[in-house]
Structure 1
Amino acid sequence: MRDSTRRTFLKGTAGVIGGSALATGSAVATGDGETGRFLINLRKVERSEIPDDVEIVHDLSSADVLVARGDQSRVGGPTATAPDVEIDLSDDDTGAVVEADGREASGNAASHNHDGPPSNTEFQWDKREQEVAGELTDKPGGGKFVHDTTTGEGTRVAVVDSGVWDDHPDLEDVVNEELSINITGDPYDFRPNGAGNHGTHVAGTIAATNDNDGPDGGVLGTAPDTEIVAVRMFSGLQGYAGDGLAGWEYAASVGCDAINYSVGYTVSDTVEYPSLIALEQMISQVANDVRSQGTVVVNSAGNAGLDMDAENTLVLPTEADGVFGVSATGPIGYGWGGKHSDNEAKWLTGNRLEEPTTDPAPYTNYGDAVDVSAGGGNYDLEAINAGNEDAYNDLVYSTINVAGPDGEQTASYGWKAGTSMAAPQVTGAAALVRSLNPDATVEEVESVIQETASMPDEGGTYHGAGHLDLPAVVDAVGGNGNSK
């Protein structure tokens, strides 16, 4: 999250839109011509001045923003409108930098009690390092865990994404079917529709319940008693930034405590300078309107490995005012083998990780717009390409849905790495804060997450205020209604 006045580094008038943070696919402006989509800033143009043949796709007038379709050139001046951005996931249909499918939810290959084949939760280094719960611990039988204080009860979180497959044993009764929506305009519901299982993976990281009673068990989210509102903004492999903003406003209107938005795009080199400013300004207006309703906007910082402070680079929506940006970290060597390979309780400690869980991932964007870092997964491509399946353990393991040849979905688990996987760790933390202190303001929620974060050696460039520290977060809030 960056002060929107810090735009002096944007020099020149030429740029390119590309590099989606949700995927490695492309993003293109759609406002040119007579039928393209674009955004209108009602602070720059009167609504009465908009031609009748310009279609209003989404009315976000509480933020003085409209999402429209038609001839952009006929509406206001150069700062009154900005092209909408179409995000194309065709180059990566799941939205992760690296990924691998794991077991089906009905799998039966595991043993519990940290001996033999690992149960599903034993792949969750991201939750174990955060001391989320006793069943994920490296210290069986002792210690206090985050879920001893709160599991996120009484909170509601929106996942604005590719849809959530709620027919998963670890997501049953988690997703609010009545409030969940499809915001794309296609005739289907909120569940995934051709854009893979990215949203399902994100939802599990936030709120999976570990209720799968199969022999492998399930996986556990940061806030398993929070309620998920799924807002699908992708129809097939295409989505629009304007639909995402409409999803933010919807989430706030139904009382969501936080929004997880693991979507983004990089702007540089082909869009006119006024359009860059106009686009960022309207995103900021929507973010701040949502914040005024009590909803935190958590966003992935992007997977391009970019310095967001560099000239002619703008990563949206992370750099917009009012957006809480999260960079990604992860280990190298988690459960790769050695003398403790058959004892998952020691995977974080016994193998002497080559890189710690706080190591900045090679793909993560970095810079002043990062508010905190969190576990998004790391990877050793050389090891993966050499066929070392254990190398996938360094990615984030969560719920997924897998489509068969007939299109029927199967509940499963899988690994993904990306800042998309880091953001839901923080969204879950926001739910924990609100469960302990329902009256905490957006600023208080964000502040306690930042003030309790631990600072790794790489410093603020990669970690913002520091690395997410869930035990410190819940200790600071304390369950007594105080966020300080």
Structure 2
Amino acid sequence: MRRIAPAALLACLVVLSLVSRARTAEPPLVPPDVARQAASAGSVRVIVRVNAPFVPEHFLGSAAAALGQRQLISSVQSAVTAGLRGVDHRVTHQFDSTLPLLALEASPDALRILDSMRGLVLDVQEDKVRRPMLADSVPLINGNDAWNAGFDGTGTIVAILDTGVDSSHPFLKAAGVSKVIREACFSSTFSGVSTSVCPGGASSSTASGSAAPCALPGCDHGTHVAGIAAGGTTGVLGSGVAPGAKIIAIQVFSSFGGSPASFDSDQIAGLNYLFNHRNDFPGLKLAAVNMSLGGDAFSTFCDSEPQKPAIDQLRAVGVATAIASGNDGFISAISAPGCISSAISVGSTTKMDDVSFFSNVAPFLGLFAPGGSATGGTADILSSVPGGVFGRKAGTSMATPHVAGAFAVLRQAAPTATVDQLLAALQDTGKPIADVLSTRPRIDVFAALGQVSSPDLVVQTLAAPPTALSGANVSVTTSVKNAGLGGAGATTLRLYLSTDNVITTGDTLLKEIPIPALVGGASKAQTVTVIIPPGTTAGPYFIGAFVNPTGAVTESNPDNNTKAVAFKVIQPDLTVTALSSATTAQTTRPLTISSKVWNRGTAPAGPFRLSFYMAQGDDTPGAGTPVVFKDLTGLAVNANVSVTSTFTIPANFSAGTYFLSARVDSAGAVTESDENNNGVLASNQVTVTLYRPEVTITALRGPLFGKIGKTISVTSAVRNAGPAPAGTFKIHFFLSSGSSDPGAGIEIGTRSVSSLAVGANVSAATTLTIPGNAGLTEGNYYLSAVADSPASGELDPTNNGLTAASQIALTLLRPDLAVTAATVTPALASPGFTVKVSNTIKNAGDVATAAPVLVNFYLSPTPTLTGGEPVIGNRSIATPLLVGGTSSAVTPLTIPRTTAPGPYFIVVVANDDHAVVEYPGPNNVKATGPVNVQLPNLQVVSIAPAPVAIRGKGVTGAPMAAVVVKNVGSGPALPFDVRVFANRDDGTPGAQIPGAGDLMFNKSVVTSIAPNGSVSLTGPIHVEEIVDGNVRLAGNYFVSAIADPALNNVDPDGANNQFTETVKKVAILPDMKKLKNTAVDLTLDPSACGVSVLNLRGPFNITNQTLANPSTFSGTVTLDDQLGSGFHQVYTVSGTVRALDLGTGIAGKVVSSFTYTATINNAFASNGRGNINGAAPGLNFNGGSIAGQDSSGTCTFSGSIDVTR
């Protein structure tokens, strides 16, 4: 056997555990109730099952293999204990590493570590406590007959794992020598729970006296059990079951507060001790172990209990472990560890062969044995108790040693038999005892002995029908008897077909029948069906029976094992008498064949097959392709049977004409009298056409542009033009730069079509990736698609491809400039009007831009540019646009003045100069919503000028001029000026034409006026004094106004931009203060001043003038005599000036008048000159005397001033 390094195995186990744990959530290794006990008490005793390979060492084949297994177990045990270093624990048993177990006292921390050792640890169980199972019964099980036959267990050993055995008891001696040949003790001290009863309180001992009964109530139990199993003949009538057997006594109980009980681990230690020391006694063979103890009950086998590996070890070397079933009275459960499948569980019966009321029973109970009635009298079991006396007890504890002793008796009789064989003998020969739910055998030792002795098997009876067909089923009845005294093990019975009545294994085997084990005198009858071999020729034969043909059972007489009966084979004759079908068919479609078969022979036909064939060019029946068959169960003599068979014409048939034929018994199952008349040819031929789909690509369309390394969407349509639906198939897509053939180039993806009905045309879009690692370069590529042929085939598999009409222009990764937003405000404009376009440019490509991006704005009557549209503005994006980056702006744009009214769109075009190499496509262009371009129409509605103006001066206070202008057009008006003019009415051409007069008001409108909007302008007026080098004439003037004289707006009606009042609204007066150098001629009133004419001239100096019409003024005037008299005088003057309407031929437009009063001028007093009013009375201007004139009177002068200019 190949050895495996323990460390390597350990590593593998850990890895496998980790993998398993990753797959599914598993329950904890430490049961929650065990963890709670530890948490409550501080520690708990547990048995750890480690993950090491274990096979009972007997089955390993060699001592080296056994040593290797022990080393593996030891390595895993060491790994577990190493993992527990540093936490509170104690190893109580390591079981010599023969078993994959560890017994520990474990703290809560130790349990947590054990729970994490999945891979090293398979499970952790509580080291449970078991109690003793507490009944002259040997004649009841016919043990005395066995003794009389010479079998009393001599040469065997029975081991008693119990509360100790009184080795000095007379009942346990033979010829004065104790039958106890070895003692051992395994007992535990567990703080606060239990105390060891081994000598000196040790946990184990193998010294003499180690298994003496413990000094506790109930410790007489082991001595009583030992007496039942192997007690001698001293002191009582009779003896134990195996009085010739020796005893190994092992104490496995501990003191639990003064009561005896046993830990599982101590029991395992005792079992392991027996396995390791079983060969220490030459001439003696360990036959059985008795364990009259138990605990928890189970309704099925409890192979997870920790004692199982130790029990398996012993059973493998021929040692039976008999364990009490328990005293709970359960009818469907057995106590542990008796419920372990490899243990021999023992229930109790009374001496009346009833199930004891206390006994646990289950369908898987091994055996019953006498255990008493628990009534305290003779109904209970009498046996030895410590102190050399006897006592009666009852319980499954008393039943179990009956079985242990029985195994010792049987082992003496059959030294090489297995435990299975000895158990079978006890079970097969035992008396059935019925309980509530199950019936199990109560042991009969003598009967079992008979089974393990030599048997003699004979064929007692054999019957078969006198005739049968070859290939027919024949019912044969036979019985086998064990004519010997010993039981026969299981064997076989063979039935043969022979040409004579001497049956040998060389004859034709018909059937082999299993024969169960038979006790002496028992029989086994059964009826079976055999088949007469097909092809067997007619004639006389024998059917023979041969029991134990291979010698599996050693018999006392092997020459009486056969028997034969006469038999005859008869034959049928099958032929096809009719065959027809439809004359046309399609591949993969059904065709029905009608036929008739006749058995013209003298024997019925057994099962046979009728087969049908189709062939092209060969009319031999059975030629060509087998297309269908029909299995028939048989046909009576001279019987006919009509057969209708429907099959599918194979898909691989080619179109054409086929012969249809049939053969009966095509498999040769029936032996017939004439084998040459089994075939027939149909009268009609069958014309086969193909029933297949026809898959074609009917449409293929891809994008015009694609990016290498990116996806494209391809739309394809596929049609089934054939007569049959298509199953699942795929469409493959290709790109080729040089060939337009479908399928040329590289494949870039597929589309799956699950099915396609007849005539169906299915279109779908498929997303495909243009590979970036296939060596593709920029350029134009053909896109093609090729459909697979469906699994069913198709009519023409050569027309499955199509190349798209348009090539795909593949490019490397580039930017892709897209106008993602374009809106215009306002939506109403006029020629020359400025609108604002909010626009966003995004790089939707795969790399950043390197060059500036030019964005142009076009004015277009449609959202789409057709050519010739004007560019009305632009902007530049100087900063590179990253992938996904955007540039947003609000761009002002002026509507051209030449734009005709109507709806327009601002079309935004990114990268209009193509400076950036980008992906082609229409996303560079986007139009705003419509902007309605309409014309304004300015109209001067009213003028309210100031009523008076003095030329050369502005009007700074109220009243001032006011003009109202309204936009009566459909479009907004641009900013414009308003001018107000004074128009004279002096007969000159254009006197009343607006704007033909003199400007006296100019006001700017700085904002737009919406349609139907108006503006009122108020401001001072100013009349220029000098116009074209001439002084403006004074007088009353008409007023006119003009809106937008610079024609900023495209106005369809210029006439209503002007307005003239129909009456003269403003008086323009001269500035009297500017007349100081004006010469004024005065005429003196002669009546007042005594002279007729006085010519005086002098300048005015006006210091005050009112803004009114008429206007008053005041000031001084200096008068000098123009005749040379030397007169010079300053006078105070006041007067008025008034503007007049002009008539035809009148030069002036204003009149003025004034008065003045003379004052004395002393410079001329001496001669009176300069004194017009009487400084020198009686003197005139010439110095002459004026008669009758009072020179002291006042002379008032009045006159007018010519202010025409």
TM-score by length of 2: 0.28
1:478 aligns with 2:453: yes
Moved more, 442-451 or 417-426: 442-451
Matched, 1:132 2:143: yes
| Residue from 91, 102, 108 that aligns with 1:56 | 91
Question: Is the alpha carbon distance of 1:377 and 1:33 closer, same or farther for their aligned partners in structure 2, counting shifts above 3 Å?
Answer: same
The aligned residue for residue 327 of structure 1 is: 347
CA offset at residue 79 of structure 1?
5.0
Aligned runs of 1:14-25 on 2, under 5 Å? none
Q: Which residue in 2 is equivalent to 1:85?
A: 128
- The offset of 1:468, in angstroms, is 0.6
Alignment of 1:96-115 (within 5 A): 96=134
Where 1:193 maps in the other structure, the secondary structure is: coil
Asked whether the 8 Å contact 1:257–1:434 carries over to 2, the reply is: yes
What does the per-residue CA deviation read over 1:330-350, in whole Å, with 9 as the maximum and x for residues that have no partner? Answer: 03xxxxxxxxxxxxxxxxxxx
RMSD of aligned C-alpha atoms? 3.3
The equivalent of 1:166 in structure 2 is 167
Q: Distance in 2 between matches of 1:154 and 1:31?
A: 51
Aligned to 2:1084: none
In structure 2, relative to structure 1, the CA distance for the partners of 1:176 and 1:394 (3 Å cut) is: closer
| Equivalent AA in structure 2 for residue 130 of structure 1 | I
CA distance in 2, matches of 1:63, 1:31: 29
C-alpha change, 1:36 and 1:419, in structure 2 (3 Å) is same
Alpha carbons 2:48, 2:103 under 8 Å: kept: yes
Report what 1:392 is aligned to.
Answer: 377
How far the C-alpha of 1:482 sits from its partner, in A, is 8.6
Evaluate the alpha carbon distance shift between residue 301 and residue 149 of structure 1 in structure 2; reply closer, same or farther with a 3 A threshold. same
Aligned residues: 360
Structure 1 CA distance for aligned equivalents of residues 310 and 39 of structure 2: 19
CA separation of 1:146/1:246 partners in 2, compared to 1, >3 Å: closer, same or farther? same
**2:182 corresponds to which of 173, 179, 182:** 179
Structure 1 segment 375-454 matched on structure 2, within 5 A = 375-380=370-375, 392-401=377-386, 410-454=387-431
Deviations 1:430-471 (A, max 9, x none): 001111111111212212111111213448x4543x111111
Unaligned runs of 5+ in 2: 1-29, 53-72, 189-195, 200-209, 279-285, 456-485, 490-1205
Indicate which of 274, 289, 297 corresponds to 1:259: 289
Q: Read off the aligned partner of 1:159 and give its amino acid letter.
A: I
**1:288-299 map, 5 Å:** 288-299=312-323
Matched, 1:65 2:101: yes
Report whether the alignment pairs 1:469 with 2:464.
no
Contact in 1 for aligned 2:220/2:385 (Cα 8 Å): yes
Query: Are the structure 2 counterparts of residues 450 and 169 from structure 1 closer, same or farther at C-alpha, using a change threshold of 3 Å?
Result: same
Using the alignment, how far apart are the partners of 1:145 and 1:178 within structure 2? 24
Residues 142 and 444, structure 2, Cα contact 8 Å, conserved in 1: no
Aligned to 2:369, the other structure's residue is in SS state: strand
SS in 2 for 1:424: helix
Residue 364 (structure 1) aligned to one of 359, 366, 372 = 359
The reply to whether residue 203 of structure 1 matches residue 222 of structure 2 is no
Counterpart contact for 1:156–1:431, Cα < 8 Å: yes
1:13-67 C-alpha deviation (Å, 9 max, x unpaired): 99999xxxxxxxxxx9889755321101112794303313532222233221121
Whole-angstrom distance in 2 between the partners of 1:306 and 1:483: 35
1:190 to 184, 204, 211: 211
Structure-2 change in CA distance of 1:83 and 1:156 (3 Å): same
Q: Aligned AA for 1:231?
A: I
The 1:293–1:457 alpha-carbon spacing in structure 2 relative to 1, beyond 3 Å, is closer
Distance in 2 separating the partners of 1:31 and 1:163: 34
1-structure distance, mates of 2:421, 2:261: 35
Which moved further from structure 2: 221-230 or 74-83? 74-83
* CA displacement at 1:230 relative to structure 2: 0.3
Say which one has the larger Rg. 2
Shift of the 421–183 alpha-carbon distance from structure 1 to 2, 3 Å rule, reads same
Deviation string, structure 1 residues 310-343 (Cα, Å, up to 9, x no partner) = xxxx731122221111110003xxxxxxxxxxxx
SS in 2 for 1:373: strand
Higher relative contact order (CA 8 A, sep 6+): 1
AA of the residue aligned to 1:183: F
For 1:323 and 1:29, the matched residues in 2 are separated by 29
Q: Which moved more, 1:445-454 or 1:279-288?
A: 279-288
Where in structure 1 do 4 or more consecutive aligned residues deviate above 4 Å? 13-17, 28-34, 173-178, 479-484
Q: Find 2:336's aligned residue among 300, 304, 316.
A: 316
Q: Is the Cα–Cα contact under 8 Å of residues 330 and 361 in structure 2 kept in the other structure?
A: yes
Letter in 2 for 1:295: V
The residue type paired with residue 138 of structure 2 is: K
**Which residue type is aligned with residue 453 of structure 1?**
G
Q: Is 1:240 matched with 2:271? A: no
Task: State which of 321, 329, 334 in structure 2 corresponds to 1:305.
Answer: 329
- Displacement after TM superposition at 1:193 (Å): 0.9
Residues 478 and 14 of structure 1, relative CA distance in 2, 3 Å threshold? same
Q: Could you tell me whether the CA contact under 8 Å between 1:287 and 1:297 is conserved in 2?
A: yes
Alpha carbons of 1:15 and 1:161: their partners in 2 closer, same or farther (altered >3 Å)?
farther
Q: CA 1:175–1:34 in 2, change beyond 3 Å: closer, same or farther?
A: farther
CA contact (8 A) 1:360 1:462 kept: no
Task: Give the distance between the partners of 2:356 and 2:162, measured in 1 at CA.
Answer: 22
Residues 433 and 38 (structure 1), Cα distance of their counterparts in 2 relative to 1, 3 Å cut: same
Farther-moved stretch of structure 1 (46-55 vs 189-198): 46-55
For 1:59, the aligned partner's letter is Q
Correspondence for 1:226: 245
1-structure distance, mates of 2:423, 2:37: 32
SS in structure 2 of the partner of residue 179 of structure 1: strand
Give, in whole Å, the separation in 1 of the partners of 2:401 and 2:443. 11
* CA deviation after TM superposition for structure 1 residue 86, in Å: 2.4
Normalised by the length of structure 1, the TM-score is 0.67
Q: Aligned equivalents of 1:59 and 1:175: distance in 2?
A: 32
SS at match of 1:456: strand
Letter in 1 for 2:226: A
**One-letter code of the match for 1:40?**
V
CA contact (8 A) 1:58 1:67 kept: yes
> What's the CA shift for 1:223?
0.4
Contact 1:152 1:434 (8 Å CA) reproduced? yes
CA distance in 1, matches of 2:442, 2:133: 23
Find the aligned partners of 1:83 and 1:31 in 2 and give their Cα distance. Answer: 14
Distance 1:298 1:398 in 2: 18
Q: Say whether the 8 Å CA contact 1:146–1:470 is kept in structure 2.
A: no
C-alpha spacing 1:471/1:267, structure 2 compared with 1 (3 Å) = closer
Q: Secondary structure at the match of 1:455?
A: strand
- CA 254–218 in structure 1, closer or farther in 2 if over 3 Å, else same: farther
CA distance in structure 2 between the partners assigned to 1:165 and 1:281 by the alignment: 30
Distance (whole Å) between structure 1 residues aligned to residue 180 and residue 349 of structure 2 = 33
The CA deviation at 1:424 is: 0.6
